[in-house]
Amino acid sequence: MLYYLVATIYVLVCFLLLIVVLLQQGKGGDMASAFGGGGSQTAFGARQGATVLSKATAVLGAYDFSGARTIMDVGGGNGSMTIAILERTPEVRGLVVDLPYIEGPAKERIRAAGLESRMRFEPVNFFERVPQGADVQMLKFILHDWNDEESVQILKNCRAAIAPDGRLVAVEMVVPEQIQPDFVHVMDLNMLVMTGGLERTAKEYETLFAKAGFRLSRVVPTESPFSVIEARPV
Ligand SMILES: C[S@@+](CC[C@H](N)C(=O)[O-])C[C@H]1O[C@@H](n2cnc3c(N)ncnc32)[C@H](O)[C@@H]1O
């Protein structure tokens, strides 16, 4: 009962916000930009650490990154997730790609973690390209920021750069096929309001990947509301 009350209030607030956002902007973007860009982006980047780590634990508990050679964290922010993976998998190397605004905080985190010899940051606009050669490309909380057309563009750039035996690992909430009360629907609306993005079903991810030359290979649930959605190049 409480769930429905909270959800209803949240939905109403989201609709009001949606109208305001549509009136003011009329365009999409990622969460960092949604917080206002510029200095707000930097603050968003600095805040990422704590929330990322709690989700990293759930992801690492469910999905095995050992056996990877180089993990490229596409839109990897300040590198917190990659640092968490590299601390558990000593043989793996890491590359974080994100916009230039977060280069300083990311490099500082890499240095503080003592991982400069295995991990680096490269400023990249993932709508233009991603660096070649990684065998694991991770997109954590990226695709839900963007509409289908934008997501396919990002995925096509990943496909052009992935190692032939590589895998793409997306971490997202997955909308159940059967309609049922689920927090993911609140998040779906939240993404629409904040970024113009959306949460998707596994089938919708499969379609998105196929348009970019990937085949969805499996969806691995975690102890958190987030799943690991794995795809292979075809
Ligand atoms: C929701 S955050 C996710 C960050 C990180 N993957 C995590 O899980 O905490 C989205 C990230 O995408 C990055 N981003 C947005 N647009 C980008 C672009 N065009 N090229 C590269 N990174 C971008 C943002 O700077 C931000 O770090």
Domains of the chain and CATH, by start? 2-233 (3.40.50.150)
Among residues 221, 208, 231, 222, the alpha carbon closest in space to that of 58 is found at 222
> In this model, does residue 16 exceed pLDDT 80?
no
At 20 the pLDDT is 45
Taking the CA atoms of 180, 30, 61 and 158 in sequence, report the sign of the dihedral they define: positive
> In this model, does residue 133 exceed pLDDT 90?
no
Cα angle: 219, vertex 97, 79; to 5 degrees:
75
Taking the CA atoms of 145, 149, 150 and 155 in sequence, report the sign of the dihedral they define: positive
Among residues 109, 227, 101, 112, the alpha carbon closest in space to that of 169 is found at 227
Number of H helices, E strands in the chain: 8, 9
Q: Which residue lies with its CA nearest to atom 13 of ligand 1?
A: 75
> In this model, does residue 206 exceed pLDDT 50?
yes
Q: Which residue lies with its CA nearest to atom 3 of ligand 1?
A: 141
- HSE (side-chain half, CA atoms, 13 Å) at 129: 6
Q: Assign 50 to helix, strand or coil.
A: helix
pLDDT one-digit tens code per residue, 48-86: 555 566 678 899 999 999 899 999 999 999 999 999 999
Q: How many percent of the chain have pLDDT more than 90? A: 64
Would you call 144 a catalytic residue per the annotation?
yes
DSSP string, 53-111: HHHHHHHHHH---TT-SEEEEET-TTSHHHHHHHHH-TT-EEEEEE-GGGHHHHHHHHH
Q: Mutate which of 74, 127, 138, 141 to test ligand 1's pocket (most atoms within 8 Å of Cβ)?
A: 141
199 against 111, higher pLDDT: 111
Q: Which residue lies with its CA nearest to atom 12 of ligand 1?
A: 75
Weakest mean pLDDT among 67-71, 154-158, 191-195, 227-231: 191-195
Question: Could you tell me the distance, in angstroms and rounded to a whole number, from the CA of residue 97 to the centre of ligand 1?
Answer: 9
At 26 the pLDDT is 43
Q: Assign 156 to helix, strand or coil.
A: helix
Q: Mutate which of 99, 137, 140, 190 to test ligand 1's pocket (most atoms within 8 Å of Cβ)?
A: 99
At 230 the pLDDT is 98
Distance CA 154, CA 209 (A): 10
pLDDT band at 194 (very low <50, low <70, confident <90, very high): confident
